[in-house]
Amino acid sequence: MDTQPWLMGGVGIAICTPPLGMALATFLFKKKFTKQEQEAGKAAAIMGSIGISEGAIPFAANDPMRVLPSIVAGGIVGCVFGFLTNVLLHAPWGGLITAPVSSNIPMYVVGIALGSLTTALIVGFWKPVAEEEVEDEIAEAAPTQAQAAPAAGEGEYDIVAVTCCPSGVAHTFMAAKALEKAGAAAGSKIKVETQGQNGIKNRITDLDVANAKLVILAHDIQVKDAHRFANAKVIECSTKEAMKKAAELIQA
């Protein structure tokens, strides 16, 4: 069977660079990936070694706008390198597993390394720090003695806050946690309403607003029922600002 060795030389390299590149990225840029993604990186390394491109699918599904261009760039670099160095591959497959049947094993492996490194560097520098890493940093930064905010009833809070983000999940609750911890550290009674994916939780009442000294609106989308805070002292910020500068906001 004619496998077009001249063509497969480059293709065989490009087949495995997506999963191998993502696996390398999870190793070089650990803070950019969640623990679950880091585990997926181990599986991707194995899959890439035996020429299964699908090892990159979990990463592409989670972050297509950054991952897809990165793996395409890596594949192009590896493929072109294979063509330029006249690597021939006598197998209708790819990956490190087919290296023994290539015409130039060293260049074949170098092509895989270059393509994988290209993908890893692009996605690694492009991706932001993983959300759970930000959450861990917030937890570490909070004083250990401030485990919970002082207990308070309706209308007894010093500060009330609302958090919301487009997904209604990660940043909404991470910002809420950061504000609660900062409030506890400052000895302030704080109530945080989350407008998340499952609706409004811990709703702020009119009495809460009337007696609060400060209202913090940490939002990336429009706050629901914002008219409640029309006559209050209000500070507005993004959820990311609330996560990173919670202490400053509480003391404003």
Tokens of 133: 């890493």
- Tell me whether residue 237 is one of the annotated catalytic residues: no
Name the catalytic one among 16, 79, 165, 237.
165
The answer to whether the beta carbons of residues 9 and 88 sit under 8 Å apart is yes
In the beta sheet, which residues pair with residue 190? Answer: 159
Q: Is 10 exposed, middle or buried (0-12, 13-18, 19+ CB in 10 A)?
A: buried
Say which residues have a Cβ less than 8 Å from residue 215's Cβ, sequence separation at least 6: 159, 160, 161, 162, 209, 229, 232, 233, 234, 235
In the beta sheet, which residues pair with residue 162? Answer: 193, 217
Distance of CA 51 to the CA centre of its chain: 26
The answer to whether the beta carbons of residues 78 and 117 sit under 8 Å apart is no
Catalytic residue list? 165
